[in-house]
Structure 1
């Protein structure tokens, strides 16, 4: 079943994505940790930690909609990080997928991640998740709601408001660092550890 309601406040969509299933080529995972990101200062969800905060560029254009597109970027020159756009067309917002549990394709994931990766944490952390799924920059802009796409998003078993979701500050951002826009499934062993960025010098704005 295709997931619905992907257009809206990034926090609401982030919570909706927990428990959803993501299929990428020959691997299927259950999303257990996400982070919400807004957009420019003059938009509905100003967020100085977002790639889109300073406006539209070629790199961040997928963040500006339509909703349900895969936004892929390269972090530190080696990690493919994957996001789901969620703003209406013209308004930037996205949800970073931080961790997942492998449902199908464990052998493929193992080959990509190597034998040292923990069985429960083989897709923990944005870069590890991107590697586990085999995502590349060429997948940027993929329509996740199109059944014929190589990467698709489907509704999962976790119901929003079920009491199984926790929230806290986002990981590794220096701006708006204390905004509680990271969400995770409470009982999942695949959720990543919280690490506050050493670049944070003061509390960031919490409006959102």
Structure 2
């Protein structure tokens, strides 16, 4: 487990200007950090999904659909797009150019800092591997919420730090929970670290 965050460096903003599929892979192995009044918690990103805007039927911005909810997707890359599904807040990194609405959903992280706080927030969970192995689970565990909508990920209280290059193999497959997305349901735009026990499925 990580003992201190003081030596971590924020992910270079140039990463967020790469093609979205590349960003989805490069975020694997980086650390997602959220600072709150309760304390700071962090986890290694182990699973992502890419959503490529107007051409992607699974994306909220399919056919350039621009609503109050999706507005952040049309903004600067490297900012936060949050939305609520059922009762869960889901965290996405905005990618693509301004007015080119693309995003990467963070699907799972491996807890690495302030595990006690993470366990407190997920007090009903008995297995550590189930604390953050899903997009709604990780936001609860780290304290990420709708107030983070539109936040610039290059500074606190919510930021992503570069870390070690993953030694695990990066694998890909279809995204999860998008059965009504036509051909897009089969796009292999979900990426994860092979054999990591915190991957959602």
TM-score by length of structure 2 reads 0.87
2:20 paired with 1:10: yes
Q: Equivalences for 1:76-155 in 2 at 5 Å?
A: 76=86, 78-146=87-155, 149-155=156-162
> In 2, Cα distance between the equivalents of 1:133 and 1:9?
27
Greater share of helix residues, 1 or 2? 2
Q: Secondary structure at the match of 2:96?
A: coil
> In 1, Cα distance between the equivalents of 2:26 and 2:185?
22
Aligned position for 1:74 = 84
> In 1, Cα distance between the equivalents of 2:116 and 2:168?
33
Pairing partner for 1:57 from 61, 67, 73 = 67
Aligned position for 2:51 = 37
- Gap regions ≥5 residues in structure 2: 1-8
Structure 1 stretches of 4+ with a deviation exceeding 4 A read none
Do the aligned partners of 1:121 and 1:189 also contact (CA within 8 Å) in 2?
Answer: no
2:188 paired with 1:183: no
Superposed CA RMSD in Å reads: 1.4
> In 1, Cα distance between the equivalents of 2:57 and 2:124?
38
Aligned position for 1:170 = 175
What do the CA deviations read for 1:35-68 (whole angstroms, capped 9, x no partner)?
000111xxxxx10100111422111111113111
Do the aligned partners of 2:108 and 2:133 also contact (CA within 8 Å) in 1?
Answer: yes
What do the CA deviations read for 1:2-38 (whole angstroms, capped 9, x no partner)?
2231123211110010001111111011000000001
- Gap regions ≥5 residues in structure 1: 41-45, 194-208
Do the aligned partners of 1:30 and 1:103 also contact (CA within 8 Å) in 2?
Answer: yes
TM-score by length of structure 1 reads 0.84
Q: State the number of aligned residues.
A: 183
Q: Secondary structure at the match of 2:154?
A: coil
